[in-house]
Amino acid sequence: MSKTQIKAYLEPELAEKIAAATERFRAAGRTVSRNDVINQLLQDGFRFWRQEADMATRVEGSVGKLANEIRKQRRVLDTILLSITDGNPDEYKAAIKEIYGDDDEP
């Protein structure tokens, strides 16, 4: 496997955490370099970002489906209310106000 050199400037706190993790691994008997720790952190970070992006995509899809269902139910409600009020706009508005109270009409 060929490797590519990357020069990175780390915040002092992050550099200390990497050094501490390296020392913990070594204290546990593992042969590990600082580069090994950094490589693993990068791999874990990219995996986490991918999982987060996948989750966001699923959530956005679910929200979109829910919004579509709400629109469908709203059209059904509008149709029912228009039938009940015989198309009278004032009675329709009164029915909407009764359903939603003082909230703005959705």
pLDDT for the residue 96: 87
Question: Is residue 85 one of the residues assigned to a domain?
Answer: yes
Flag whether 1 is in a domain: no
Instruction: Tell me what the pLDDT averaged over the chain comes to.
Output: 91
pLDDT over threshold 70, residue 9: yes
Does the pLDDT at position 102 exceed 90?
no
* Total domains present in the chain: 1
Those residues with Cβ within 8 angstroms of residue 41's Cβ, 6 or more apart along the chain or in another chain: 18
Q: pLDDT tens, 25-56?
A: 999 999 999 999 999 999 999 999 999 999 99
In a domain, 95, yes or no: yes
Which tokens hold the place of 21? 């993790």
Q: Is residue 82 part of a domain?
A: yes
- Say if 47 falls within a structural domain: yes
Amino acid 87: pLDDT: 87
Sequence-separated (6 or more) residues with CB below 8 Å from residue 67: none
Inside any domain, residue 4: no
Is residue 22 in some structural domain?
A: yes
Rounded average pLDDT over 6-35: 94
Structural domain range at position 58: 12-100
Mean pLDDT of 64-84: 94
